[in-house]
Every structure is written in C-alpha cells, then in structure tokens.
Chain A
Amino acid sequence: MELLVASAIGIMTAGGLYLLLRLRTFPVILGISLLTYAVNVFLFASGRLTIGAPPILRDDITRYADPLPQALVLTAIVISFGMTAVVVMIGLGAYLGSHDDHVDDLPEPDADASEGRS
C-alpha cells in the first residue's frame, strides 16, 4: 500500500508540475488541481497509513488512525476547491476581456507580437 500511495502522489505531482509549466491558463489550472490532489493524499499519509482503524482516541484503544491529518485534509480540500473556483473565474474574465489566455506578460506594444509565443 505504501508503494501505491507514494507512487500516486509522485505521479500526480509530476503531472501537475508539467502542466504548471504550460503557457495557457487552462492547463496551468489543471496542473494546480492535480497538485492539490497530490498534496491532499500526502497530508493524509502524513498521519501514517492504517487500515480499518477508527480515527478516535479512547482510553482502551491501542490501534487507531491519526484523526488530525483527516481534519487538515478537509480544510485543505475546502480551501483548494474555493481557490480553484476563484482562479477559473478570474482567468475566464481575463480571457474574455483580452481574447488571450497566456499566463505570461503581454509583449510590449512595439515588440513583434508573434515573438516568443508557442
């Protein structure tokens, strides 16, 4: 299970980073979403991986799942969900306004517009 979780985190992070380095907003937002998935699983795993144990501390229980990372993940999910919604809206506004969804700076008005674009 460790291998599965670790490689899942690794692959999602790698894919997310690749998409982050793209030039247009849509792949970059997808990349950030992938990265947040990766970080959510990572946070979840930071409390050690246990199967079939309750996330509750009681006096007579010796085997339990760490409840704190689950609370942290919940917070992180909510925040990243909201942030993604915000960036989609702002990105959409910027695209509709200037008909261009590159994330990098606009070229100077006197420079050749096609230069440095893919």
Chain B
Amino acid sequence: MTHWIVAPVILPALVAPFIVLAARYHIGIQRVFSVVGVLALIAIAGGLTWQASDGTVTLYQLGDWAAPFGIVLVGDRLSTMMVLLTAVLGLFVLLYAIGSGWDDRGRHFHALFQFQLMGIMGAFLTGDLFNLFVFFEVLLIASYGLMIHAGGNDRLRAGVQYVLFNLIGSTLFLFALGAIYAETGTLNMADLAERVRLIDAEETVGIRVAAVLLLLVFAIKAALVPLHFWLPSSYAEAPAPVAALFAIMTKVGAYAIIRVYTLVFPPDLEVTQGLHDLWLLPAALVSLAIGMIGVLAAKKLDRLVAFSVIGSMGMVMISIALFTPEGIAAALYYIIHSTLAGATLFLIADLVRCSRANLQLTPQAPMAGAALTAALFFAGAIAMAGLPPLSGFLGKLLVLDAAFDTDLVVWIWAVVLTSSLISILGFARAGSVLFWKAHSVTPPEGETPLPRPAPLSYVAVGGLIALLGLHTVFAGIVHGYTTTMARDLFAPGTYIETVVDTPGKLSKPDIDKAADKEDH
C-alpha cells in the first residue's frame, strides 16, 4: 500500500495552515508556497493518473481499517483524472489571482484556496458516502470564505444566498445518508453496491427515497434546473479567480452522480428505474435551454458567463442521463472541456472588468488592451458555444452521437442544436457590444483611462485556452481514455473487489492477514 493516493488531500491540508501561521503578513511568501504546493499537486496527480491509466484501482485504507468499517480512498481512472484536472485548473487560476492582484485584496486567499483544493480532491478520491459529505463541507466552507473574499455589500448579500442554499443542500445530504444507512447498514460505496441488490423488491420504499434525495443533493451541486438558483448571482459576484475555480465545483456534483449512479444505483437496477430517463434527462434539457437563453438575455458579462456554465452543465447532464457507456464517455470529455472553458470565460470577464468601468453590456468607450482581450474572448466564446475548431464542438458531436440511438433523440438533438444557436447569438452580441461598438463611442474628456491587465493575467488565460487547444488536438486520445473509463464504470467488478476484499483491521478472518502485513 503506497501513501501517494492520500497526498492530494494531505498536501493542501498542510500548506494551508502553514500559510496562515507562518506567512500571514507576507503576500510574497504566501504566493510562493501556494504555487509550489499546486505544482507539487500537479506532479502527484500526474503520477496517480499514470498509475491508474492501466486500469489499476488503488485503495488506501485510512488507519488500516478494512473497507466497510473504515474510510477508504480509491483511485481509479475516473477519480485520478478529475484530481489531475483540478490541480491543473488550480495552477492557472492561482497564476491569474496573483497576476491580477485579487489575492491581495483580502486576507487568507491562499490558505482558503488550498483548503478548497483539499476538499475537491477529497471528494473525488473518497470511496465512502459519509466521507464524501465531509469533503463537500470542507470544500464548501472554504468556498464561503473565498466567495466573500475582498468584501463589498453585493458580494456579501450574494454570499448569504450561496451559503444558505448550500446549507439546505447539506441537510438534504444528511437526510439521504440517514435513509441509506437505515436501509442498508453501510455507507461504503462498494459495499452499498453489493447490498442494494439484495434488498427485497417489496421493501424498496426507503432506498428509493434515499436515491432520489441523493440525486437532488448532487443536482444542487451540479446546478441542474430547477436547483440552479444559487449559481448565477454567487458566481457573478464572486471574485473572478474564485468563480473560475468554482467551475470545477459544479463538476464535483456531476462526478458524484456518475460515480454513485453507476456503482450503487446502476441503470439496470430495479429500484431506481425511471430516475434517469424520466427525471434527470428532462431536467438536463431544461438546464441547457435555460442556460443558453440566459446567455442571450444577460445584461452583464459576468451573469452571461454564469448562465453559460449552467448551460454547459445541462449538456454534461444530458450526456450523463443517457447512462450508456458512450454517453458517460462523451460526458467525461465534455466535463474537461466545460471546466476549462468556464474558467477561461470567468477570467476573461475579469480582464474586461479590470480596464472598463463596469461589465454592463452597453457600448462604452474603448478600453486598454482591448485587442488581446477581444481575441481571448473570441476563442473562449467559440469554445463555450461549441463552434469548430475548439473542443466544445467535438464534445457536442460526441454527445449528439451518443444520443443517436435513444428514444428521445429528437428532443435531445432539437434542444442541443437550438440552444447552441441561441448561445452563439448571445456570445456574438456580447462580444460585438463590448469590443466593436466601443469604437463608435468617444471617451469623455478629462478621464484617465483604466489600466490594462497585468501580463501574468494574460498568461493564465492564454494557458487555459492553450489547454483547450490541446484538448481538441488530442481529442482522440482523451476520448479513447474516457471510453475505457466509462467501460470500467459499467463493469465495476474490479473496483468493488478491490475495496471489499483488500484485508485490513477487522476484515473477515478467512482472509490471510500475514500477506498484508508484509506490505507495510
């Protein structure tokens, strides 16, 4: 048993208090430690991904307690890929926060950032539902702090809404966990997968309620309509680097849905019949439509980006709701794309805010550095709207292709294609108002122009767009990888065996413990 798998959780958990305790008054030292920490995270996550890429499922028993009794961390292809994605996104967001000076506008940005990373990594790696709740709380409490970073009345008000909504979500999560425990007597995901099948067909009321409650909780996290109301104002009011990091938080919800509803409540399970096609898919279609209509209707750039995130989550959820290996593979490809594109757009919105009086989509005098910002916005909008040549187009094609054989193909194709058109209109309108119409407005006399954004900000945004480019160029490899990942998810035998059968303290006496002790 190696200890590397726990490092993505432990490392930020050590860096964060160090920053608070030892470098509280020195922003330079904080920056150095934060960046080095994230670079180390990327290296570790890369190693873990490489290790899992041949199909190995790595198990880590905390305190060496065997699976149903102790908490386990599990690294398979899916979770290690999400960890790597988080770490890479974290680096660029951090570079932007440093370049734009956002981290210096309030206290403890870097410490909270590390705690946030810790929570996200833990949520991806854990193999236990209650532990998932705990890591959700870790990432949420850090996100509350980040959300109201740098203060301001509007931000605090949006923060109150955000916190209250998430507290309700956490309470629902606890109700779901209580119901699951009462029905099955376990909260370990692999153990649950075995026990849920054993439930008598006559006595499924409790477990069905639990499955729906759990889906609601994850749907709140994934901002699925009609549970999306917390997202637009909180993402729009949050500081830009924080909003960009939050782009991965909606994906935590999507990840949890993929994990739990392929492993514990798979689509062929009698108990949860109808949950995916009857409820999840229509909600996803409405999310996509609402998100893209919101893009067209938004009066401010930050709201526009927030709604585009809702729309792209709708796209991810459509693909997930198909619950076929092709659908999940397409969803995973699109999750990577949507995370990078959403983060890019939030950062670009902040580039605009930096050298413009406000973010209202009205013609205003030209801003400093408009050419470069406009080019970046153009690339980001193409990615998010799903036009060729960037990965949004490929992701959308994969989703459409995966939906081709289903009964609802007409609905899915109609909504996806129409909403794409609407989002293209929305982004084109925003871009032309922001960058082209500005040239017809003469700046008022005697007003000093706002400064142009720092070069490091451009490097961070450019880096994210370069990643989107790589995601497009190596689409074949990435999609091949997500296809094997989806195949693993629908044949979770290795996962369950690894978790349940690996010996540890309190494991069944028939397993030879001597063999295990040699490993330590």
Interface residues of A (CB under 8 A from B): 20, 25, 28-29, 32, 35-36, 39, 42-43, 45-48, 68-69, 72, 75-76, 79-80, 82-84, 86-87, 90-91, 93-94, 97-98, 103-106
Contacts and interface: CB of A to CB of B under 8 A. Distances in A.
Contacts of B175: 39, 42
Interface string B144-167: 100010011110110111011001
A86 B144 contact: yes
B156 A83 contact: no
B16 to A, nearest CB: 16
A75 B170 CA distance: 13
Given A20-B168, A72-B181, A83-B137, A94 B174 contact: no
B423 interface: no
B182 interface: yes
Which secondary structure dominates chain A's binding surface?
Answer: helix
Given A39-B175, A46-B179, A86 B156 contact: no
B56 interface: no
B130 interface: yes
Interface string B126-154: 00001000100100110010001001111
A103 B164 contact: yes
Interface residues of B, number: 30
B168 A35 contact: yes
B160 A68 contact: no
B474 to A, nearest CB: 41
Contacts of A105: 161, 233
Given A72-B130, A103-B160, A32 B153 contact: no
B178 interface: yes
A12 to B, nearest CB: 11
Given A43-B178, A43-B181, A72-B181, 10 more contacts: A32-B167, A69-B178, A69-B181, A80-B171, A86-B144, A87-B160, A87-B167, A94-B156, A97-B156, A98-B156
B182 A32 contact: no
A104 B158 CA distance: 9
B340 interface: no
Nearest to A75: B134
Nearest to B156: A94
A89 to B, nearest CB: 10
Contacts of A69: 178, 181
Contacts of B161: 103-105
B71 to A, nearest CB: 11
6 contacts: A36-B174, A42-B175, A43-B174, A94-B153, A98-B157, A105-B233
A35 B171 contact: yes
A82 B167 CA distance: 11
B177 interface: yes
Given A72-B181, A87-B163, A39 B171 contact: yes
Interface string B389-413: 0000000000000000000000000
Nearest to B206: A46
A68 B181 contact: yes
